[in-house]
Amino acid sequence: MERTQNFIGSSLAFLDAVERASRAAPLNRPVLVIGERGTGKELIAERLHHLSARWSGPLVTMNCAALPENLIEAELFGHEAGSFTGAAKTRHGRFEEADGGTLFLDELATLSSPAQDRLLRAVEYGEVTRIGASKPIKVDVRIVAATNENLPRMVDEGRFRADLLDRLCFEVVNLPPLRLRIGDVPLLAEHFGRRMGVELGWPGWPGFARDAQAELEAYPWPGNVRELRNVVERAVYRWEDPERPIGAIQFDPFASPWAPGKAVVTAAAPALAPAEMPTAIAGAPAMPSTATADFRAAVHGYERALLEDALRANRFNQRATAAALSLSYDQLRHALKRHKLLEGEAA
């Protein structure tokens, strides 16, 4: 299994987790990898395999949540021909495929109770029995399992076998979420951004503008490294000028004023009577005089003043500025570009 991702990070929490996995790798014992989605559990499983004496054997991956419950056992342990409807021929399970190597069970907590029972026997005795077979088959497999669930709590609630957990938890590697990996967001953003720039054929790497960098570091990253990679690569590919630092970040690709469920104005609002017209906007610059010979220049100047004041009031955080002005982020970006207020543009 070839990967283009590497372990990137300098935070102590992250390096401690990688070190723990590295120390456990040479031992022929099961390992549990615990972490939120997108924290790199599969990369840890690969490290455990490739740093072990089993490195030349197969590394077989199975996502336990990707299959319906009635097929998980057949997928893990295999089946004999005719053992159930649709079983036209004998099929080896993942345990047999991983013989002499490592079996990585992702989303372990989703296994059904019967599958947990059979998994316990496979771990305890090193043998599996295909569905429909009468004799067990010996296998030499190291188990690495991953989940984002609290397995001890599931044991207390009767949803996970205590004896299976006891057999699997020789070592537990807890991966920190990205929001707690101090200093790692800029490193990862730079790595993914440079790689995307190379893919797009950019002549060099302009980096991120100061505001964009601050946004990346302030975001909580619920999807962790996987989400960061998507956000950064999307920002690079959408940026039209590879000579200028990237200044636009969109965290939610579904954000749109036309998204389903959003209110859409289909008719013009009725004009306000003169007595109803507001005299000023709270916090806005003073209204210019109505005596002007150039209507467009006056409107342009007042709009620019509104944008400048809102940016200063929100410490030049563009998302906060957009919210304060009741604009979408893209609408604000277009307005800033129109008035040449984006970083690096001459007024």
From first to last of the 347 residues of the chain, give the pLDDT tens digit: 344 457 899 999 999 999 999 999 999 999 999 999 999 999 999 999 999 999 999 999 999 988 887 788 888 888 777 676 666 688 888 999 999 999 999 999 999 898 899 899 899 999 988 887 778 899 999 999 999 999 999 999 999 999 999 999 999 999 999 999 999 999 999 999 999 999 999 999 999 999 999 999 999 999 999 999 999 999 999 998 999 999 999 999 888 777 776 555 444 444 444 444 344 444 556 555 566 667 778 778 888 888 888 888 888 888 888 888 888 887 888 888 888 888 655 54
- Given a contact cutoff of 8 angstroms between Cβ atoms, the answer to whether 131 and 79 are in contact is yes
pLDDT value of position 88: 66
Q: Categorise residue 91: left if φ over 0, alpha if ψ from -120 to 50, beta otherwise.
A: beta
| C-alpha–C-alpha distance, residues 225 and 236, integer Å | 16
User: CATH 3.40.50.300 in the chain, residues?
Assistant: 12-176
CATH code: domain 281-347 is 1.10.10
Residue 236 host element (H or E): helix 224-238
> CA 59, CA 248: separation in Å to the nearest integer?
40
Cβ-contact 7, 18 below 8 angstroms: yes
Q: 12-176 — its CATH code?
A: 3.40.50.300
- Strands 171-174 and 31-34 come out as parallel
Listed in order, the ranges of the chain carrying CATH 1.10.10 are 281-347
Tokens of 327: 């604009």
Residue 50: which residues within 8 A CB-CB, separation 6 or more?
Answer: 25, 59
CATH of range 182-253; options 3.30.43.10, 3.60.20.10, 3.20.190.10, 1.10.8.60: 1.10.8.60
Cβ atoms < 10 Å from Cβ of 3: 8
